[in-house]
Amino acid sequence: MTPDTVLLLVRFVHFWAVFGLFGTALFGLYAGSAARALIGPRLGGPVALMSVAALASGIVWLLVEAAHFGGDWAACCDADTLTAVVFETGFGKLWLWRLLLAAALLPIVTMERGPARDGLLIAVSAMLAGSLGLTGHAAMDLGWRGVAHQANHAAHLLAVGAWLGGLLPLARLLADRPAEALQTNAPQTNALRADALHRFSTVGIIAVGIILVTGIVNAGMIVGSPIPSLATSWGRVLAVKLLLVAIMLAAALANRLVLMPGARYAAIARLVLAEQILGLAVVAAASLLGTLPPDGAM
């Protein structure tokens, strides 16, 4: 497999893991104590898996960058090349901090459930998601334009994490499987679901607003226009990404405006699953987008 192909795969896994961690941790903050108590124990496994995936994919991403830097796979494990990448490149210095953050997640997720663990999980996962904004095409701008572009991109990725990552715990809450103390359609279960859905939907609307504005600004800073040009592969991939996002938004609107008022939780759960699958496709497109030359030069 070429370094480019491996890079695409680890970017996808890393984005998925980091967004999932941040969105899940944030959901615990706004979904309410009852929802937190119900799904907290059922999210231990996915949170641990995403923490390991964030660290492992982060390490492989660095090794692939070293392979690129050295011109072949052998360079990825060459001490001199790795040292040069880590301590002499902007990417390397940032990545070292990001790997330390990802490593810090492992003991945090094993801590006893409570405000300390939840707070650390939110803080560390937010730094992991936001710091991705300092990489990619946003890192190509210098001076104040660079600061503005990276801050915009960090906001884009944090909002993406809040929306996409929050779908995982929401899906768990809606899952039609009687949990220990709770019957599926008992009045208190539906009241809890309705409350958590409403809170998620409100956070989702804010996140989508931020995603749209920061996405348009990103495109404007990279190619000078928010309208993707189909003449370049970058433009075509962004167009596919926007089409997928539009379908996701249609599903979210159907949930908010049609299914939620009718308390049709099984149908809502199916649309949330569809949003998750579409969201993975958008992250896959974004994983490719950030590696393509925006002006179409190959």
Q: Which residues bind ligand HEM (CB under 6 A)?
A: 15, 136-137, 156-157, 160, 164, 211-212, 215-216, 218-219, 222, 226, 238, 242, 245, 248, 279, 282-283, 286, 289-290
Q: How far is the CB of 180 from ligand HEM (least distance, A)?
A: 33
Radius of gyration of the chain (CA): 20
**Contact (Cβ atoms closer than 8 angstroms) between residue 216 and residue 226:** yes
Is 61 in a helix, a strand, or coil? helix
Q: Which residue has the tokens 């768990």?
A: 172
Of the pair 19, 69, the CB lying nearest ligand HEM is at 19
Q: How far is the CB of 60 from ligand HEM (least distance, A)?
A: 16
Spatial separation of the C-alpha atoms in residues 296 and 148, rounded to whole Å: 24
* Alpha-carbon torsion, ordered 160, 161, 167, 172, to 10 deg: 180
Which of 123, 202, 120, 215 has its CA nearest to residue 160? 215
Of the pair 36, 98, the CB lying nearest ligand HEM is at 98
Of the pair 94, 216, the CB lying nearest ligand HEM is at 216
Residues in Cβ contact with 229 at an 8 Å cutoff, skipping those fewer than 6 apart: 223, 235
Spatial separation of the C-alpha atoms in residues 269 and 275, rounded to whole Å: 10
Q: How far is the CB of 145 from ligand HEM (least distance, A)?
A: 14
Q: How far is the CB of 2 from ligand HEM (least distance, A)?
A: 18
Q: How far is the CB of 298 from ligand HEM (least distance, A)?
A: 15
Of the pair 76, 238, the CB lying nearest ligand HEM is at 238
Q: How far is the CB of 220 from ligand HEM (least distance, A)?
A: 8
Amino acid of residue 32: G
Which of 43, 54, 48 has its CA nearest to residue 19? 54
For 61, other C-beta atoms within 10 Å of its C-beta total 22
Q: Hey, CA dihedral for 28, 34, 39, 41, is it positive or negative?
A: positive
Q: How far is the CB of 64 from ligand HEM (least distance, A)?
A: 14
Spatial separation of the C-alpha atoms in residues 64 and 53, rounded to whole Å: 16
Of the pair 20, 136, the CB lying nearest ligand HEM is at 136
Of the pair 56, 249, the CB lying nearest ligand HEM is at 249
Of the pair 40, 226, the CB lying nearest ligand HEM is at 226
Q: How far is the CB of 282 from ligand HEM (least distance, A)?
A: 4
Q: How far is CA 130 from CA 158, 162, 180, in A?
A: 6, 11, 36
Of the pair 57, 218, the CB lying nearest ligand HEM is at 218
Report which residue's Cβ sits closest to ligand HEM: 290
